[in-house]
Structure 1
Amino acid sequence: MSEQDLFYLLALQSVEGVGDIMAKRLLLQCGTAEDIFKTKPSQLSLIEGVGAVLLKNIKEKSIFEKAQKEFDFIASNDINVTFFDEKNYPDRLKHCIDAPVLLFSSGNIDLKNKKIISIVGTRQITSYGMEFCKKLIEDLAPLDPVIVSGFAYGVDIVAHQLAIENNLQTIGVVAHGLNQIYPKAHKKYVAQVEQNGGFMTEFWSSSNPDKENFVRRNRIVAGISEATIVIESADRGGSLITANIANDYNRDVFAVPGRITDKYSQGCNNLIKTQKANVLTNAADLIYILNWDVENKPKPIQKQLFVELEPDEQKIYDYLIKTGKDLMDTIALRCDFPIYKISGLLLNMELKGVIRPLPGKLFEAI
């Protein structure tokens, strides 16, 4: 991503009323962030969700001043920025329709060909939860997973510390800009985390750890990983929100069971009781359900398809064979088709038996 592209993406993000979904919709129709600002209002108004208020906001001069200020902060603080359409954007997060357009990170994060799990739970971790977390990460260490959490008190910081102790990469997803650390008491862990992974956020340097930011942060924790593990939770809490988001993303969720009389096992027990989470009693449960124990099996040879595909259909099929599965909007973007055309092509391919739809507007090649 060039500096010019980054500047205009920041300007787009600073437009009031433009969230991640709207930003992707505008980019899909216009091409680049710079092109959005150059497109005539009459053309922009044809895009779904673009009304008079948004058109007015796009013309506000202050958005470029805000973008320049954040651009200068990024440049002077060695912040890594990843655009959602770039190859190094977290693969699983990319499949989430509301994934951030831009991710800001620091440290030495490397997610290529990595197993990634998120560990969350109460800020009031008990000795039971601590012992289970310790044994779980020790037993998973030979598989070299990346441990993701929210850098908060309790389960989060314990998971980060145990990952470091076992020489595993760990990522703290924070609910504020990278110019600060919350809670302040955890500043002493920053250097270790950045040496063994790093920090990630979607928030600008002007963003403080406000309450609503933690819910947005949780969707990154859930979306970036293959599975979310709830170690301990009361009957209400942020970790349950993360678990529900992971379920919405069709990701595996695991919960550690506990005694029905224990306050910080109630949330986990309810997740299991309502079939929103798999029971997690040891590392073997996770390894089995995620199929990590059969990774070395030879991949099946793809069957020869005895169907004829049109050139546009073949382009989509080749893309899905390469990526495995993707969202309809992302397929349109990557294969350079307008959104009105992609739905008809996907339907024809489904009827021909070469792709199938999945929950969450995902499609995969058969």
Structure 2
Amino acid sequence: MKKMKEKIGIFLAIALACIFGAGIGWLMADYADYNAEINRTGASVGETLFQAAKPLIIAYVWIGVQTIIHEAGHLVFGLLTGYHFSSFRIGSFMWVKREGRIRFARYSLAGTGGQCLLAPPDMQDGRFPYVLYHMGGSLMNLLSAVLAGGIAALCHSMGAETAGKSFVIAAAIGAVYALINGIPMRLGTIDNDGYNACATGKNPGALRANWLQLKVNEQMTAGVRLKDMPEAWFAMPADEEMKNGMTAVVGVFACNRLMDEKRFAEADREMERLLSMDTGIVGLHRSLMKGDRIFCELLGEGRKERIDKLRDKEQRKVAKAMKKFPAVLRTEYAYALLEEKDGEKAGKIREEFEKMAEKYPYPCDIEAERELMETADSCSREG
């Protein structure tokens, strides 16, 4: 059933993307006559190519604008319901609040075009506001689509057909964003906003799990490592609770904390157990957990058959997409050092890590990963 729901979500996303593609084709047709005209009058090749590419340029501009609008929606509705600013990201450009100041950083997450993370208000009687924060992005996209549609109608009434069609495309992109993010779906390696909102509302445990995720992020932004946060936050949920996508993240955090505490054997057992179960853990976290298991195995018995099994297609695909993520670089470093015995390659990976670390938004993560890399260094010297 879970696989079927994922396929339905992906199919719907493709269908909505096709609607967007059809709109681009419609806009391109508007420029066809103009291109033919400038060709007849001897226009330059550069001008002709620019006119042909203009519809795509317009579309990409509106995609960027709608991404900003979406994340701004999370920010606005979050602030209105008692949240506090933590970070705001578009693409890999991120602004994060640390030590009372907004600082620029670089960070990307596979499967996301942006992300707005806020510090949640305190829970009252086991509850806190979550619906508007989760759905604020889709609501803002929908509002912008209505506004763009109104402008398109105004342009049409004034005879500005080309400008009108551009705003029709803007309205279509806004609607697509609202639907893809608002209709509950599991899209590849991540869950969308609608899915997270539904998962949060399933039961009190899921609601608390959502609050904990935001509190953990708030503490990380403040420079606190997982091992130094309250232990009660990282209690492993019951097996049945792990089927909820929101609660499952707490299980992932519990394993991450064990890694930070260097309790590698225990972390590996827990990750092996979770990966073998039917849980709500998203594909992204599953692949990162496989990477952590590879690291644990490299420090332990170093069984090649187990390492090769963990380095499957899914894990390698995510590692490639997140090649600048600290945990990914740490595992690749250990693999080069302990499995491939290639000190030169390991050195280059370490250089990439340090370069990435200069603008990474969470210094506590960098500190933890450096310690794990030093642990790999110790194992290499002992070997």
Fold match, TM over 0.5? no
Larger radius of gyration: 2
More helix by share: 2
Given the two structures, how large is their TM-score scaled by the length of structure 1? 0.30
Given the two structures, how large is their TM-score scaled by the length of structure 2? 0.29
